[in-house]
């Protein structure tokens, strides 16, 4: 284990207090500061091979310890796959999770799958909070320890953001007995997720990422202006000027004092190779000015998502994770395509602020259709493009690498 830190309790009722932005350099670690130009990282999830899906299907039939022992070599394979693809920053593939949010909710308790809704023409039931959460200790510590102990690469571990969970899992018809208002629910989530993030750092994780596709809802002009959506859960009373600052302040509380690099990932959601919303990031960018994070990871490869000109609005204290690999389409981009998109970002921002990643996780839900072979090939092309970009933007001599003139 690389680091340990105590887990402080979060003071409730503080979400209306704006925290001062901290110098981003104090949030980076020696390991993340040493990452190369155009370093490559995953967002989180990898597709599960059938053997992993079969194991997940048997989960409830097995003692918990037996299940984890059986899953260990599977996760080790996910780690080695990312290393072999050449990634600088890796995750555990999220193979211990059934879904990137639901696994967290399952482990902390208080949720039931009882709310009906329509999503992309399908009738479904979704979970909502119905009882007060009773998280007595962090739930992802052992998963994080396994990742940190089994690689020498920089490690990343993702958590769902408070605003995302509140937006999707609080409903007035089901949740008021547990949490009278969304604000009450948000405050408790901040307390739990702050302890969770501290525990990840104590387990040896270098980068803590907060996933929040709900923030990208505000980028969808049709949703905001007309309420047009194929996801019934998104038909809400949206108020960007109030809700986005609340979401950012909750993230700031989690990031405050965290001895790790902190990322925020805002995607357009992934479901069966489609997105839930569309729109570039310009509506969201101004609200990032007071964030206490280091890097925001956004989508640029898939149609209807970000465009390079969005980067002209990125606050000066933030790095960008450019999504330059499309995880939704089956087509494999040429390395030159990936390189061209990243170079368009480098024409606007200093390359030193740019990391490269897939648009999103390949399989936020364990049943998503991409294959592990598809993901491996796409990640390999990502790292090849990054190498080409380093060769293009860096001079290397006996004094080491330095930015070529005109690219600084």
**Which of the four pLDDT bands, split at 50, 70 and 90, describes residue 2?**
very low
Mean pLDDT on 366-387: 96
Query: What is residue 183's three-state secondary structure?
Result: helix
Please name which of 253, 245, 223 lies closest in space to residue 235, comparing C-alpha atoms: 223
Separation of alpha carbons 329 and 325, rounded Å: 10
The mean of the pLDDT values for the chain is 90
Mean pLDDT of 335-357: 98
pLDDT value of position 405 = 59
Q: Is residue 10 part of a domain?
A: no
Taking 90 as the threshold, does the pLDDT of residue 304 lie above it? yes
Residue 229's pLDDT is 79
Residue 7: what pLDDT? 30
pLDDT at res. 25: 42
Residue 132 lies in a domain: yes
308 or 6: which leads in pLDDT: 308
Strand arrangement of the beta sheet that strand 354-358 belongs to:
89-90, 154-160, 207-211, 261-266, 295-299, 319-325, 354-358
189: phi then psi, degrees, rounded to nearest 5: -60, -40
- How far from the centroid of its chain's Cα atoms is residue 385's Cα? 22
Q: Is residue 5 part of a domain?
A: no
User: Per the domain annotation, does 401 fall within a domain?
Assistant: no
Q: What is the pLDDT of residue 170?
A: 96
Mean pLDDT of the 61-70 span: 96
Residue 43 near residue 357 (C-beta atoms within 8 A): yes
Total tally of structural domains belonging to the chain: 1
Query: Is 186 part of any domain?
Result: yes
Q: What is the model's pLDDT at position 406?
A: 59
Q: Would you say residue 398 has pLDDT above 80?
A: no
> Looking at residue 15, what is its pLDDT?
54
Helix (H) or strand (E) holding 145: helix 141-149
Mean pLDDT lowest among 105-119, 200-214, 250-264, 305-319? 105-119
Q: What are the C-alpha distances in Å from 362 to residues 43, 224, 316? A: 8, 27, 29
Query: DSSP secondary structure string, 30-74?
Result: HHHHTPPTT-BB--S--PPPHHHHHHHHTGGGS-HHHHHHHHHHH
Would you say residue 17 has pLDDT above 50?
Answer: no
Residue 254's alpha-carbon distances to 209, 247, 309, in angstroms, are: 11, 11, 30
- The interaxial angle of helices 182-202 and 162-169, nearest 10 deg, is 140
The H or E element spanning position 122 is strand 122-129
371 is in which domain, residue-wise? 27-395
We report the CATH number of the domain holding residue 250 as 3.20.20.210
Question: Residue 232's pLDDT is what?
Answer: 78
Check pLDDT > 60 for residue 408.
no
Percent over 70 (pLDDT), the chain:
90
Cβ neighbors of 93 (< 8 A, separation 6 or more) are 45, 46, 48, 75, 78, 79, 81, 82
Rounded distance, CA 10 to CA 68, Å?
Answer: 30
C-beta separation of 139 from 199 below 8 A: no
Residue 127 lies in a domain: yes
Residues 288, 314 contacting (CB under 8 angstroms): yes
Summarize the confidence of residues 47-59 as an average pLDDT.
97
Residue 291, token pair as written in the block: 């964030």
User: Which of the pair, 256 or 24, is modelled with greater confidence?
Assistant: 256
Q: What is the DSSP letter of 100?
A: T
Q: Is 364 part of a structural domain of the chain? A: yes
Buried b (16+ CB within 10 A) or exposed e, 291-323: bbbbbbbbbbbbeebbebebbeebeebbbbbbb
pLDDT digits 0-9 by tens, 96-142: 999 999 999 999 999 999 998 887 778 888 899 999 998 889 999 99
- Cα distance between residue 292 and residue 388, in whole Å: 32
pLDDT given for residue 230 in this prediction: 72
pLDDT tens for residues 69-104?
999 999 999 999 999 999 999 999 999 999 999 999
Residue 17: inside a domain, yes or no? Answer: no
């Amino acid at each position: 284990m690389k680091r340990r830190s105590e887990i402080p309790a979060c003071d409730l009722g503080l979400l209306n207090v704006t925290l001062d932005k901290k110098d981003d350099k104090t949030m980076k670690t020696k390991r993340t500061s040493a990452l190369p130009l155009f370093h490559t990282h995953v967002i989180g999830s990898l597709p599960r091979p059938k053997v992993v899906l079969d194991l997940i299907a048997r989960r409830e039939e097995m003692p918990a310890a037996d299940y984890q022992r059986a899953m260990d070599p599977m996760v080790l394979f996910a780690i080695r796959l990312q290393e072999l693809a050449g990634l600088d920053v890796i995750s555990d593939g999220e193979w211990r999770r059934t879904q990137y949010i639901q696994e967290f909710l399952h482990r902390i308790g208080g949720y039931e799958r009882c709310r009906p809704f329509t999503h992309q023409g399908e009738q479904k039931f979704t979970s909502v909070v119905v009882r007060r959460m009773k998280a007595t200790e962090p739930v992802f510590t052992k998963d994080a320890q396994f990742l940190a102990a089994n690689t020498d690469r920089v490690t990343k571990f993702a958590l769902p953001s408070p605003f995302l969970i509140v937006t999707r899992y609080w409903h007035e018809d089901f949740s008021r007995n547990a949490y009278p208002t969304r604000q009450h629910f948000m405050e408790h989530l901040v307390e739990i997720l702050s302890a969770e993030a501290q525990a990840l750092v104590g387990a040896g994780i270098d980068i803590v990422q907060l996933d929040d596709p709900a923030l990208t809802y505000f980028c969808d002009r049709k949703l905001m202006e007309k309420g047009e959506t194929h996801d019934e859960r998104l038909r809400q009373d949206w108020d960007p000027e109030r809700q986005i600052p609340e979401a950012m302040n909750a993230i700031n509380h989690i990031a405050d004092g965290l001895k790790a690099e902190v990322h925020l990932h805002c995607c357009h959601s992934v479901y069966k190779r489609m997105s839930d919303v569309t729109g570039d990031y310009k509506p969201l960018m101004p609200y990032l000015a007071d964030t206490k994070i280091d890097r925001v990871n956004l989508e640029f490869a898939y149609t209807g998502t970000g465009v390079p000109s969005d980067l002209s609005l990125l606050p000066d204290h933030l790095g960008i994770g450019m999504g330059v690999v499309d995880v939704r389409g089956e087509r494999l981009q040429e390395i030159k395509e990936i390189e061209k998109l990243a170079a368009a970002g480098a024409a606007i921002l200093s390359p030193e602020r740019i990391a490269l990643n897939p648009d999103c996780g390949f399989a936020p839900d364990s049943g998503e259709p991409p294959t592990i072979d598809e993901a491996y090939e796409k990640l390999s092309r990502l790292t090849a493009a990054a190498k080409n970009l380093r060769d293009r933007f860096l001079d290397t001599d006996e004094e080491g690498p330095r930015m070529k003139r005109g690219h600084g």
